[in-house]
Structure 1
Amino acid sequence: MNDFLSKSPKYSIPDLSSDNAKCCGCFACYSICPKKAISMKIDGEGFYYPVIDEEVCVKCNKCINTCNFKKEHIPHSEDTLVYAVKHKEKNILVNSSSGAAFTGLSDIILEQGGAIACSMFDYKVKIPKFVIASEKKQRDLARGSIYVQSYIGDIFLDAYGWIINNPDKDLLFIGTGCQTAGFREFIENIDKNYLNKVYFVDIICHGAPSPQFWTQYCTYLERRYKGEITYVTFKDKRNGWNRPTAAVKIGQNKEIMLKDYIKIYYEHCVLRPACYHCPYTNLERNTDITIGDYWGIEKVNPEFHSEKGCSLILIHTLRGKELFEKTKKVFDVWDSDIKSCLQPNLCHPTECPQNRKVFWDDYECKGLEYVLDKYGKDKFIVRVKRKIKRLFSD
């Protein structure tokens, strides 16, 4: 049994977030609380953590029972099926992060009158937020990857309400491993009978960066370039899917590359503390389907590889297989295997960098622009090596 649970007195005030490494910020505890005793507060790094009002809490422990990070993870018993897929429609493929797995899987749900609970970028507040999409035009706004932790808010409650009001329809919930697991735990604790009304889909995740760091970065860009951000992309395919371009548009015409932010992102300092201990960076997931980029497809199957993108689909359950069978006609499909598809975040969590504390100390004491300059720029020798590498690879 998890040590945390075994040591917790049955009727004491639950300890939800004294250890930041054990809280993924999925909002499940906040959503399940029958007395609304839990609020989500931002810490100094800009991540949300639950805070319990002890005067309102009735010590029912529903929050602990719903926390997917504080319980033992039991792997599924079904064999995982592995596929590489590319959407057959070129326009859809080009406008998707990889092979358009998200679009293909969600299309069938929408066509049957269902809905999609997913994250899309809110340009007013400059962060991705979860919404319920019931039309393809709205769903299309959720395409692409945003390297920022999404704001969940009341989406679990809204999705549950949608399920209640649409008993003959299906909901597809898609998020990172922790977000999808959080929603599954929420539904299990509300009423297990509703599990068969939801398709649980998670994405292969590198880690969740600080929303606060990102929004301050956006403010910095808008101030520096004298305009509002009107478009964000982290995986534009102008140079091919294997070399994605990250950029924003200021106004209608001015494009700004996000090289400093991307470098900091891949240095891993801005990730949530729980990401370095993520239990969902493996093949044993309690979801129906996992999707992501099929990195390395050009080596294991060069003929299937496309510069426009290729998705990896891992099917964990019979329910996931049923959904995939309904949608596979829109894809070019290659039957793959686990050995061929493995990538770092299917094997282990992203490693915590040794200089993480120094980075956040610099950020707190010296500000955003200082850390952008210190951590967001390549040294001269690194730039030279990269140019040489590209000359020989082109």
Structure 2
Amino acid sequence: MLRYNDDKIFFDYLHCQQCGICEAVCSKQAISFRLLENGTHEVVIDHEKCIRCKRCVNCCPANKEEDYRTYFDGFHAKTYFLGYNTDNRIRHESSSGGVCKTIIIESLRTGIADGVYSLKRTDAYPFAEGEFYAKDNIPDYGDIPNSVYHSVLACRNINKIRKCKRLVVVGTSCQLRAMNAALKGKAEEVIRVCIFCKQQKTLDSTRFLAKIMGTDIPENLKFSTRYRGIGWPGIVRVNESELPWNRAAQIPFGRRLWTVSGCNVCGDSFGTDADADITLMDPWKIRMPNELGETLTIVHTERGEWLLEQLPSLTLERKDFEEVEPALDLKDIWRKQQLVPFFRGQNCSDKIIKAGKAEQWQRAMLTSIVETLPRMPIIFYRALCKLPDLRNKILK
């Protein structure tokens, strides 16, 4: 998070959502990044180069406080699908049936869009970076990473975007909000695809998973990783070791450990406040593990539904709200929203303060336990996940 005070731009790491937009919009190259030990980045500001235009502050998604009081009102009326690529090989290899990759690639191949901004796979940490795709560089399915569970400065390369008639942008809610502020005038029409996100992870999450698998991540970060794919929910691979993803996700995601601190001040998991047309997420609680996979696809706008209808490589199975409601996990997102004022340092009720402090204590306690005991049987970590969730008990 960047703020302007006393005629200077200041960086607040605790609220930073690691989107990378600040460097991209700085016309004087006054902003750079320093990689931290936990795999996130610190924003470094050269105050001599800075001209105080405040564009970085205005584009920073952490500065956009949202009102969540009516956030869940329209969910009964939205359109829901279980979607997947019609090619079973692509469906098997991709995260959750490959809907995201299909939208990116096939919207360009069919000429529906003349530009897409998303991620491309790289060989060095963080193994992904922002990329602008057009008809002259349409990616293959292997060029796009599966899910990435450590933070990526996804907006860092938005200056690659050329003027388009119809631009599709793909990202988490914070990344979409950042791009919304920075891309005015770049396209006649923008279609926004949100990757559902409750919590980005620091690299410490993957370090923990590596230890469970009997391997490690060296200090120089020269290692290999794969998140998801190979069926649903798929696998996580570090170096040559593998672990089923539903086992790997229990501690980091179930107990919200190693969460990027800026995620604590965002309650817009579906991207609706970022004007998302479509949200893509996993069908947890409504689908059993399987060899192929599906994406729970939420359509917010007519424009989003139109886009999906133009893609013959997608199979879409219509679902009612009652069928998908368990996967949406709306109650958990509501609880996260309740704590946003606490993590922003705002005035809160005694109940919210109690829940926020309990959340901090529980994360610290569980992190200490699992980092001290990283080679225990999986049943040990399952048992930790069965302990009462203090935040949830307070925020009934």
Q: TM-score if structure 2 supplies the norm length?
A: 0.71
Matched residue, 1:183: 179
Describe the SS at the equivalent of 1:41.
strand
Residue type of the alignment partner of 1:118: S
1:200-215 matches, within 5 Å, as: 200-211=192-203, 214=206
Relative distance call for 1:223 and 1:334 in structure 2 (3 A) is closer
Structure 1 position 325, deviation (Å): 2.2
Question: CA deviation digits over 1:213-240, x for unaligned, max 9?
Answer: 647987993789xxx8556233432xxx
Question: CA deviation digits over 1:77-126, x for unaligned, max 9?
Answer: 99643322233322222122113211332233221273433234423335
Relative distance call for 1:105 and 1:293 in structure 2 (3 A) is same
Relative distance call for 1:295 and 1:153 in structure 2 (3 A) is closer
Distance in 2 between residues matched to 1:28 and 1:384, nearest whole Å: 40
Distance in 1 between residues matched to 2:384 and 2:257, nearest whole Å: 24
Relative distance call for 1:126 and 1:278 in structure 2 (3 A) is closer
| Residues 1:269 and 2:257 aligned together | yes
Distance in 1 between residues matched to 2:46 and 2:101, nearest whole Å: 41
Distance in 2 between residues matched to 1:359 and 1:127, nearest whole Å: 28
1:207-356 matches, within 5 Å, as: 207-211=199-203, 214=206, 221=215, 232-237=226-231, 241-242=232-233, 244-250=234-240, 255-257=241-243, 262=249, 264-266=251-253, 267-282=255-270, 284-285=272-273, 286-298=275-287, 308-327=292-311, 330-337=314-321, 340-341=324-325, 342-343=328-329, 347-349=334-336, 352=359, 354-356=361-363
Relative distance call for 1:145 and 1:212 in structure 2 (3 A) is same
Matched residue, 1:392: none
Residue type of the alignment partner of 2:116: I
Matched residue, 1:65: 58
* Alpha carbons 2:81, 2:316 under 8 Å: kept: no
Matched residue, 1:102: 100
Relative distance call for 1:55 and 1:375 in structure 2 (3 A) is same
Distance in 2 between residues matched to 1:307 and 1:261, nearest whole Å: 18
Describe the SS at the equivalent of 1:332.
strand
Percent of aligned positions that are identical:
18
Matched residue, 2:7: 12
Matched residue, 1:174: 170
Structure 1 position 272, deviation (Å): 0.5
Q: CA RMSD in A?
A: 4.1
* Alpha carbons 1:200, 1:289 under 8 Å: kept: yes
Distance in 1 between residues matched to 2:316 and 2:79, nearest whole Å: 16
Structure 1 position 70, deviation (Å): 0.7
Q: TM-score if structure 1 supplies the norm length?
A: 0.71
| Residues 1:119 and 2:119 aligned together | yes
Distance in 2 between residues matched to 1:339 and 1:383, nearest whole Å: 27
* Alpha carbons 2:32, 2:43 under 8 Å: kept: yes
* Alpha carbons 1:118, 1:130 under 8 Å: kept: yes
Residue type of the alignment partner of 2:285: G
Paired residues in the alignment total 344
Question: CA deviation digits over 1:236-291, x for unaligned, max 9?
Answer: 32xxx25x3322453xxxx4438896555234321101222323225633222211
